[in-house]
Amino acid sequence: MEIIPNPKEVDGVKVLQLETAAGAAIRFFEKAIGINVPRSRFLPVKATSDLLLVQSDLYTLVDGYVIRNPARVKPSNPSIELGPEFKKVANFLARFKSIPSIVELDSLKVSGDVSFGSGVVLKGNVTIAAKAGVKLEIPDGAVLENKDINGPEDL
């Protein structure tokens, strides 16, 4: 199979990851066929921002199908940008007591040393940016709607 070079940066070190595309192996099998799997059967998770979407109340899994919460009025998913502090799954998970409700969220941008309590609800456009050297904790039960938060005084 063909090797695909994928340059990356891991912990500040430039590396070259060598990959193979599993789908390319189909040519080695006689009478192989491909199937088209609809989005209702899976949601790709390539980054922790995707993980936040699928772990949230925006989707549920029913009989093997990914079902969108009917309470979500807008047809598109919210835009979610998480800073480098959330990049690794272990760090991402450690920053949430529970995944916030995002059914009414339009966009979320989080940067810096931010953690979320349980029962947090995010609505509209929310930006949370902890200043360097400051740990910002979103308290249990907080409802943030169309907010820009740069410090505890903004909560």
Q: Percentage helix, strand, coil, to 5, in the chain?
A: 20, 35, 45
Contacts of residue 121, defined as CB under 8 A and 6 or more positions apart, other chains included, come to 100, 101, 104, 142, 143, 144
- CATH number of the domain at 75, please: 2.160.10.10
- pLDDT score of 122: 98
Q: What is the pLDDT of residues 41-58, one digit of tens each?
A: 777 888 999 999 999 999
What mean pLDDT value characterizes the chain? Answer: 91
39 pLDDT band, cuts 50/70/90, is low
Does 52 reside within a domain? Answer: yes
pLDDT at 154 over 70: yes
Which amino acid is located at 78 in the chain? P
**CA pair distance 70, 16, nearest whole angstrom:** 43
Does 110 reside within a domain? Answer: yes
Which amino acid is located at 14 in the chain? K
Our count of domains for the chain comes to: 1
pLDDT at 141 over 70: yes
